[in-house]
Structure 1
Amino acid sequence: MPFALNPAAVWPIVLLCLSNVFMTFAWYGHLKVKSSPLYLVVLISWGIAFFEYCLAVPANRIGHQVYSAAQLKTIQEVITLVIFAGFSVFWLKESLTWNHLIGFTLIAAGAAFVFKA
């Protein structure tokens, strides 16, 4: 029998990945352009965050069919760490050190306990 994925289990992960890209740019993207006035950065970030919400809210609504709220939050946090790590390296040009990687790994290991039955 072919392997079939439940769309209610997959779509939230896809949508949360996309929403986290927007969220990360809204929260941290401005760190690369410090010459912009703070009020302008806040308004632009708010506009970017709108698209994050347009993806995150449906992700959670769909995902709650198969995941608990705690599991959805945990998925979102792990996705946030992965996307932020890439963003930090590729957009902000900051290095990730061993202590970052170990810390992120420990957070991910802790998150795994949320999914234990």
Structure 2
Amino acid sequence: MSLPTPVVTIGLLIASNVFMTIAWYGHLKFKSAPLIAVILISWAIAFFEYVLQVPANRMGHGYFSAAQLKTIQEVISLSVFVIFSWLYLGERITWQHGVGFALICLGAWFIFQDWG
């Protein structure tokens, strides 16, 4: 039994965004670490993001348009980041973040509409 294309695509995009968020922002708790070490470790973590993102886009393209794939990726990226910044970095999520995210989701909704 194989999973539907949207499930596989979105699952891989979620996993890839977890790696990318860690690569981009995980080092913020380690400001005393040498910058070159942080860069190299981030690159190593980001490798796994590419290992997941490239197949997600390849499998998903055709079912989704390129614009839809990018939109899905951006919404997932923001969702993963909000959770990461709250749980890992201990940052507060404000109502302004909620409104901004809602507006982004509204924009994403428009990308998926086909009005001829």
Shorter-chain TM-score category? Answer: over 0.9
How many correspondences in the alignment?
113
The unaligned stretches of length 5 or more in structure 2 are none
Residue 6 of structure 1 and its aligned partner are, at CA, apart by 6.3
**Is 1:106 matched up with 2:99?**
no
> What is the percentage of aligned positions where both structures have the same residue?
62
Q: Give 5+ residue unaligned stretches, structure 1.
A: none
- Alpha-carbon distance between aligned partners in 1 of 2:85 and 2:31, rounded to the nearest angstrom: 16
1:2-44 alpha-carbon deviations (Å, 9 max, x no partner): xxx9622211100000000000000000001111011100000
1:105 Cα shift? 0.9
Correspondence for 2:70 among 48, 73, 80: 73
Residue 65 of structure 1, CA deviation:
2.6
Give 1:52's match in structure 2, choosing from 49, 53, 57: 49
Q: Normalising by structure 2, what TM-score?
A: 0.94
In structure 1, what is the Cα distance between the partners aligned to 2:44 and 2:103?
A: 33
Give distance in 2, aligned partners of 1:32 and 1:70. Answer: 34
Measure, in 2, the Cα distance between the counterparts of 1:32 and 1:50: 21
For 2:80, the equivalent position in structure 1 comes to 83
Letter paired with 2:54: V
Normalising by structure 1, what TM-score?
Answer: 0.93
Runs of 4+ in 1 over 2 A off after TM superposition: none
Say if 2:18 is the partner of 1:24.
no
What residue is the counterpart of 2:11 in the other structure? Answer: 14
